[in-house]
Structures are given as structure tokens and as C-alpha cells.
Amino acid sequence: MTFTGKRMLARFAAFATSAALLIGAASCSSTEDSHSEDPKPTTNSATAATTGKVAVFTPSDGVSIGQSTPMNRWPSFVSDLTEALHAAHVDSDDITTSTASSLDEQSRDIQDYVVEHVTKSNAGGAQQSTDDGTADASITLVIAPVADNSAITHDYGDFVSMPDAASAQSSDAASSNDGGSETSDSSTASSTDSQDAASDDDAPAAADSDKNTDNNTTDDTNGNTDSASAASGSAASDTDAAIARLNSSITLARESGMHVIMLSNNVTGVSPDALVRFSTARQIGQIQAEKLVTKLDLGKTNKDNPKTVEVLLPISAKSGTAEYDLQSAFLKEAFMGIWQILDDYFKSGKLVSASGLLTADSTEQDWSKLLVDASKTTNVQRAVSERLKSSDDTAKDATMTHIDGIIGLTDTAASQIIKELSAMGYTGTAADINPSISITGIVGNIIGKHDLTREPVPDPIKSPDNDDAANNKPDKQYASQWPIVTGYGAFVDSMPQIVNGQQWMTALEDRKAIATDVADACVTFNRKASIDKRDYVTMETIRTDGNTANNSNVDGGNAKTDNGNTTNSNTTTAKTIPVISEAPLAVSASNLKNALIDPGYISLADAGL
């Protein structure tokens, strides 16, 4: 059934009741460390067999219907989790789902639910049973905290773990001393677009601004500034109040025998029974670099015949904004994952960059050189063109720059990369690179026919003993060969370009596997057992600000939620808890059927078949 919010009068009563119940609950034994190893349920034990109740609280889906979006959305996860709970024998009447558009609304919904069930349980004794014999305290709350809106969730999905925006600011300051962002792609695109906007899109605004030159301008400006400051202060106050309300509700729930599983990002002060970690920025970068290395078969490459790659880090926010800081932190972490894989290949000479932005001397701190202004799709295309510009473009017999792979990071960027590569005259598909199956074979495999195998076509070999540039110049067919293009998000509208091999791979959360894990955890907790030994669990130390204890970005005197909100907390408490996770799914044309079509993520029609 679907949970609906209580009326204001009920909420007022709930708030007053929760304070009293919290005091009473504090005298009871905490369930925090009361878990035993999960017993094998027996038909003779009603307590062991019970699956209890599950209440799921997630953010609303604010994406417009028909908009190009990743597959990882909260509504889809809730549907998968509900199905998994049914498979675990949880009755539909025992599953409650609720969505909210703000943390304030969500905290009130959770408070209402907890107080109602604690009150019901206490009215007849701590172990009062419901009509079906299930103790009302056998409840697990599954909470995905509502975070601030960000382009990150649009590009990478709702579940992605948000970074701490402060992690990029210190390195930004260091980079600015060396000239700031040193990428020609980002700076050129930004400055050009700013000029275009000033002359075109912003012209009416500029004209209106010129009219306001009287003596009231200063007063109006001050008034607007004061209003903005007041609004910002009010928003921060609302967030602090919501976090405090959420904390007290969860504390009451846990001390009353309920369990709490936090999804994706924890909230300051919350000490859950388990945390579900979805993909981090580092993992998103790492998986694309790993698939690039595998497809290029870099183990067989040598420095005399290196592979040429490019890395694009698309950023859409305006510099100087909180969103820019958040995206920068995300991209910095993503490049750490990429460079963890590619560093040794650049140092050994097996990889080179067509643009020269990455070299054997590059480090993780060079991430800002790779930023590409993605506020307009044409900017990404322009960046590709600039990076692959031939040094002899003016020559009549100029050849294209050969490129073996481009990490686009998102499916949105990958689509723009593909458009520009086509416009520049690159042909073929990524399936032509070290192929074990043709596109015809891939399509045949997807619709149930046999695979077709192919032998790889060797690259032209550069001779280290021959310094004649003309002899080493690649022929036009080789230079125009289609490269590997990677992305993330598994956008449904990108599936056809996966099938045709223009985009070699994308990735997404293994949503159904995680839903199955969470359902198992809920039932296990409701049976008062432990999930610590489960295959999907790792035991990690976290702080009540939601970060791992060894995270250098954690400031004990200024705790933050993972979505960037700050609260005035002088202490944080480290605690070791179960962390639920699954490796993200890497999807290419060769495994699209098994990874996406067979499990029901997409249909044949979605894949363009």
C-alpha cells in the first residue's frame, strides 16, 4: 500500500508524542548490538519465520516523462525492491512506500510513521502483536535521503553516491595558482559561449540593465542581496530542522526495536543498522578505464606502437556556484578512478594522448585540464574536434588524427562525441577493434542466433629504427577507424548506439541485485539476526556524518551530509556497520542481452531491434 502524509494536527501530536516516547525508549535496551547470526528459519518457530514490515522512503522522481534519463531512478528501484520483498515472503500489506520532494517533507513522513507504530506498540506493551502474530516492532525502515537537485543525478542516476564538494575546492585553489583550469576545451568553450550569450541570449537582459541607472539602483541591489541572504538562511535553517527531526525519529525507531537501512547517502548524526553504497564517482571512472584497457588489449601493446586515447570530464555548472563545486568534486574523484587504471600505461609509453593533455608525467591532480564545458551539447563536440585536430590540417593530403579510445564518462557526452566523430569522417564501429564478434553476430546473438567470430586486424607497426615521418604517417583508412567510446548511465535512448557499436560500453547499478540484497537484509533484521556474514556485505567504519572514517574530507568539527549540507556539530562518532554493495554492470553490445534484456531492464524495442 502507499503511505500518505498525515494532516498538520496529527503531525503536531506526533511531534509531542515522539519527545515523550524518546525519553521512555531511552530506558529500554538498545537493539544496536543485539543481532545474532541469522538462524535457519524453522516451520515450528513463528518468531524465526516472520518477515515483519518494511517501510521505504525515497525522493520523488522529478524527471519529466520522455526526457532522456539514466535507468537508475528511485521509482524503478522501489518497484524492484517491492518485487524482491514479495519473493522473500513479505506480504503486500506489510510493505509501505513513500516519496517526498524535500528533506523536510520526508523527515515529517518518517516521524509520522515511527510515532504511529511506536505508539501502537506501547499501547499494548513492548511486544504487542498484530492480528497476524507479527510483533509491530519487527519493522525495517529503508531510507534514501532527499538530496539537493543536481545535474549529477541526471547524468549518472539517482543512486550515485555524492562527494563532498569541499574535496575539490582545495585543489582548485592550488590549480588556480598555476593558471586555473588548464584545459583548452573547458576554457575556450566557456569563454566563447559567454561571449555568444552576451551578444545573443543575454542581450535583452543587458538592455534592461542599462535602463536601471538612476539613484535607486544601489538600494534595489542591496534589497535583493538582503532578500537572497534571508532566503539562503531560511533554507539552511529548514535543512537543519529536517536533519534534527530525521535524527530524533530514527533514534526513536531504533530504540523501539526497529531497524534502519540508509540508501546511497547517509545523513549527519544518523547511525543506521546498514548502509547501501551505490556507485561512487571513482568507480564510474574506473570501470570505463578498465573496459578501455581490456578492449584495446594493452597487455600486448608496446611503446613503439602506442594506443591513443582521450579523456573528457563534462561539467555543466557555472563556475563559482555550489553546483560547480559539487560537480568538480565528483569529476576529480572520477579521474582518480580513471588514472588508477591508466597511469602505468602512460608511464610505460603504451598510451598517449592525441591532445597532449595527458602525458607520462601526469598525476591525479591534472584532472582539471580535462574539464569540458557541457552546458551546451555543441561544446562537447567542439572539444572533440579541438583535441583531434591534425597538426597539418591545412595540407591538401592531411590525414585525420587516429584515435583508439575516448572516455566520455556519461552517456550524454558519449552521444555528442559520436556525433562529432561522424561529422569528422570517422567510420566503422568499435567492434572492429580486436573483435571477437561482428555487429551482425552481436545482433544475431541478441535475437537468438549464433555468434560470429572474427580475427583482429593488426595495427600498422611503427618502426623505432625509422625516423622518416612520412613512412610513419598512418594511412587514411587506419586514421579514420572508429574508436572505443565509453559512457555511464545506460540511457534507454543510447541503447541503439550500443547495439551498432558506435558506443562501446555504458554502465549502471545492478539495481535488481541490490534490491534483492536489501530485501534479504530487511527480513533478516526483522528476525533479529545479523547480515554481517552475507556475501553482499563488507564491514566498514563510518562516521555519523556519513563518510568513511578514513576519509580525509571529514571534518570532525563541521559535519556534513553527503549532499553538501552543513550542520553545526562539534563531534562525530565512528562506528563499524554492514555496507551493502554490488559491482556496477558494464554493458556492451556483446553482453547487452544477458545484462539488460533478459533481466527486464529494457526490451528489444528499446535496443532498436
Mark whether 461 and 567 lie in a shared domain.
no
Mark whether 497 and 514 lie in a shared domain.
no
Mark whether 390 and 285 lie in a shared domain.
yes
Mark whether 78 and 132 lie in a shared domain.
yes
Mark whether 249 and 295 lie in a shared domain.
no
> pTM surpassing 0.85?
no
Mark whether 527 and 381 lie in a shared domain.
no
**Of 481, 508, 535, the domain-final residue:** 508
Q: Domain limits at 246? A: 52-61+70-164+238-279+510-582
Give the whole-angstrom CA distance, residue 144 versus residue 275. 10
Where do the H-state alpha helices sit in 535-589?
none
Q: Is the pLDDT of residue 112 over 90?
A: yes
Q: Is the pLDDT of residue 396 over 70?
A: no
Mark whether 450 and 567 lie in a shared domain.
no
- Phi then psi for residue 542, to 5 deg, are -120, 165
The single residue listed with the C-alpha cell 579510445 is 405
Nearest to 116 by CA among 211, 231, 209, 252: 252
Q: Does some domain include residue 181?
A: no
Average pLDDT over all residues of the chain:
76
Of the two residues 389 and 218, the one the predictor is more confident about is 389
Give the whole-angstrom CA distance, residue 385 versus residue 145. 41
Residue range 298-324: average pLDDT? Answer: 95
For residues 519 and 84, the answer to whether their CB atoms sit within 8 Å is yes
Of the two residues 105 and 42, the one the predictor is more confident about is 105
* Chain segment 309-320, per-residue pLDDT in tens: 999 999 999 999
* Chain segment 30-44, per-residue pLDDT in tens: 444 444 444 444 333
Mark whether 461 and 317 lie in a shared domain.
yes
For residues 307 and 404, the answer to whether their CB atoms sit within 8 Å is yes
In three-state secondary structure terms, 190 is: helix
Q: Does some domain include residue 367?
A: yes
Mark whether 451 and 515 lie in a shared domain.
no
Least confident of 163-172, 476-485, 495-504: 163-172
* Chain segment 70-81, per-residue pLDDT in tens: 889 999 999 999
Nearest to 128 by CA among 140, 139, 141, 113: 139
The three cell numbers of residue 469 are 615521418
Mark whether 256 and 120 lie in a shared domain.
yes
Q: Number of folded domains in the chain?
A: 2
Residue range 459-477: average pLDDT? Answer: 53
The single residue listed with the C-alpha cell 568539527 is 557
Q: What residues pair up with 276 in beta bridges, in sequence order?
A: 263, 580
Q: Does some domain include residue 219?
A: no
Mark whether 382 and 431 lie in a shared domain.
yes
CATH number at residue 245: 3.40.50.2300
Mark whether 484 and 526 lie in a shared domain.
no
Q: Does some domain include residue 556?
A: yes
**pLDDT score recorded for residue 581:** 95
